[in-house]
Amino acid sequence: NAGVMQNPRHLVRRRGQEARLRCSPMKGHSHVYWYRQLPEEGLKFMVYLQKENIIDESGMPKERFSAEFPKEGPSILRIQQVVRGDSAAYFCASSLRIVGSSYEQYFGPGTRLTVT
């Protein structure tokens, strides 16, 4: 039973380029969350998605960042025109349906983005 998968594990981009981070949730999970972890800091919530729906994007920067979770395929976190401050580890997590909301999240290994 494969866990949450993220790719690439490491991504290097020059300033101004686009970064695309992919996340495949655990089998049977229909809820995906994206978090960012800056060096020496904790996890910061970015966005929460269900299939074809953004449920909560209160942690997403207003510009350059977008996320989607299409009906088919992985969830994508897209960062346009990257800047050095975007360098961080980006973690994806998934969970079962949230009726009762007691379900824990299962995390992927993360994508480490370096902007040069």
DSSP state of 26: P
Among 17, 66, 105, 114, interactor with another protein by CB under 8 A: 105
1 binds another protein (CB under 8 A): no
E runs forming strands in the chain: 5-7, 10-13, 19-24, 31-37, 43-50, 53-56, 65-68, 75-79, 88-95, 106-107, 111-115
Name the minimum Å distance from CB 8 to another protein: 14
Name which of residues 59 to 88 contact another protein (CB under 8 A).
none
Q: Alpha-carbon distance 98 to 7, whole Å?
A: 25
Give the range of 14-22, 69-77, 79-87, 99-107 binding another protein by CB under 8 A.
99-107
* Neighbouring-strand partners of residue 32: 49, 94
Binding residues for another protein (CB under 8 A) = 4, 6, 31, 33, 35, 41-45, 48, 55-56, 58, 91, 93, 98, 100-102, 104-110, 112
